[in-house]
Amino acid sequence: MSVPLLEVRDLRKSYQLTGRPALEVLHGIQFSLNPGECRPICGPSGAGKSTLLHILGGLESPDGGEIIWKGESMKGWNRTQGALWRRGAVGFIFQSYHLIPELTVEENVRLPAMLAGVQLGERWEDLLDEVGMTLRRDHLPGELSGGEQQRVAVARALILEPDLILADEPTGNLDVASATAVLDLLVRMVRERQKSLLLVTHDESVAAKVGNPLRLLDGRLAEKEK
Ligand SMILES: Nc1ncnc2c1ncn2[C@@H]1O[C@H](COP(=O)(O)OP(=O)(O)O)[C@@H](O)[C@H]1O
Ligand SMILES: [Mg+2]
């Protein structure tokens, strides 16, 4: 049996609110994800889905528990190791796209590589083609529909070929037709590259296309994962 890509053990998070008791959001989350495995994270609004995804993507830190990446605990990592991992190992896709409005489609897709000092060759052109945005490469995000912006965000998330894609309600702002197209594209591209995907959704029909769901309710996983 191969080593899991990601193991999460007893992950805890609370928010300190001034003048009020701390708000416990995650109460000991435990699961693992294999290389090439795609799983939706389902649950109602406020369940802690975004908080979990932000912690897994290194955007927030947990209060307790452990994250193990390819068999190595991230607990002992210093800031540089964490920053390198965040840059190269995970790709993030947000509900509201988060493209840089002043940059063109092409510049948005190439940005992670520019920040990382990676030479892309023609890889970015192939990727732009794959998400169907070649003819719009000189356009600004404000000139694109929501579905088009999210396709650009998918290309940006995949440009450095990260092993793990984290997507937080990536089709939540889209109409039904665009949502279906973006979801099918994302899942196909992740599977073809044999990457892993955690995709947050509250929509069961979206979840069914991704894989076996992790169900989060009030900061706990409904079924205990080994
Ligand atoms: N920065 C924050 N400060 C205080 N409370 C927060 C913060 N972020 C999220 N929360 C609270 O944590 C809970 C879980 O939020 P979230 O992870 O966004 O849930 P979901 O994505 O499942 O809707 C909610 O009650 C939310 O209000
Ligand atoms: Mg959320």
Whether the pTM exceeds 0.75: the reply is yes
Supply the residue whose CA is at minimum distance from atom 4 of ligand 1: 15
Q: From the CA of 199, how far away is ligand 1's center (Å)?
A: 17
Both tokens assigned to 7: 């193991």
Rounded distance between C-alpha atoms, residue 29 and residue 111, angstroms: 33
Question: What kind and span of H or E run contains 187?
Answer: helix 176-192
Bridge-based pairing state of the strands 164-168 and 220-221: unpaired
CATH code of the domain in which 167 resides: 3.40.50.300
Per-residue model confidence as pLDDT tens digits over 87-114? 899 999 999 999 999 999 999 999 999 9
* Structural domain containing residue 150: 33-64+79-221
Instruction: Report which listed range, 14-23, 69-78, 192-201, is most confident.
Output: 192-201
Which of 50, 59, 166 should be mutated for ligand 1, with most atoms under 8 A from CB?
50
Domain count, the chain: 1
Which of 12, 14, 15 should be mutated for ligand 1, with most atoms under 8 A from CB?
15
